[in-house]
Amino acid sequence: MKRLSLACSLLALLMAPMLMASVGTGQWLKHVPEQDRVRSNPLAHDPDATAAGAKLFHSDCAPCHGADAAGRGSRPMLRSERVRRATDGELEWLLRNGNLAHGMPSWSRLPEVQRWQIVRYLHALPI
């Protein structure tokens, strides 16, 4: 009996990361105020913004989301339909506010222009 419960605990331990890998439920989208959702990216036509965003992504985001943005463990994949469908304003809101309760830090310390650069990069990611 003891051995069985040990086996069960081990199984639970092994399963936890698998279950966590499915997080990234997109619940945060429900919290984005309308005026933020509809904000447009002031760098939408800046040809250098995506490359600048890539640099920031690799220093600030890749440690959690992976250099290829394919996600790691509980950190969701960013090459996804959800990220693609999110508006520029929604993504900037998430970067500014974070979702710390779910492990996503706030990037409010970055100048706003850098968050918009990252948003350009996120929307340029292949799925």
Could you tell me the smallest distance in angstroms from the CB atom of residue 45 to ligand HEC?
A: 21
d(CA 60, CA 78): 14
Q: Name the amino acid, one letter, at 117.
A: Q
d(CA 85, CA 76): 15
d(CA 124, CA 114): 15
User: Within 10 Å of residue 96's Cβ, how many Cβ atoms?
Assistant: 14
Q: Does 71 bind ligand HEC (CB under 6 A)?
A: no
Q: Does 78 bind ligand HEC (CB under 6 A)?
A: yes
Q: Does 64 bind ligand HEC (CB under 6 A)?
A: yes
The dihedral sign for the CA sequence 15, 81, 118, 115? negative
With CA atoms as reference, report the closest residue to 24 among 62, 68, 67, 80: 80
Q: Does 61 bind ligand HEC (CB under 6 A)?
A: yes
Among 50, 94, 120, 125, binds ligand HEC (CB under 6 A): 94
Among 32, 43, 118, 125, binds ligand HEC (CB under 6 A): 118
Q: Does 103 bind ligand HEC (CB under 6 A)?
A: yes
- Please give the residue ranges that form the binding site for ligand HEC (CB under 6 A): 23-26, 28, 57, 60-61, 63-65, 74-76, 78, 80, 82-83, 91, 94-95, 99, 102-105, 107, 118, 122
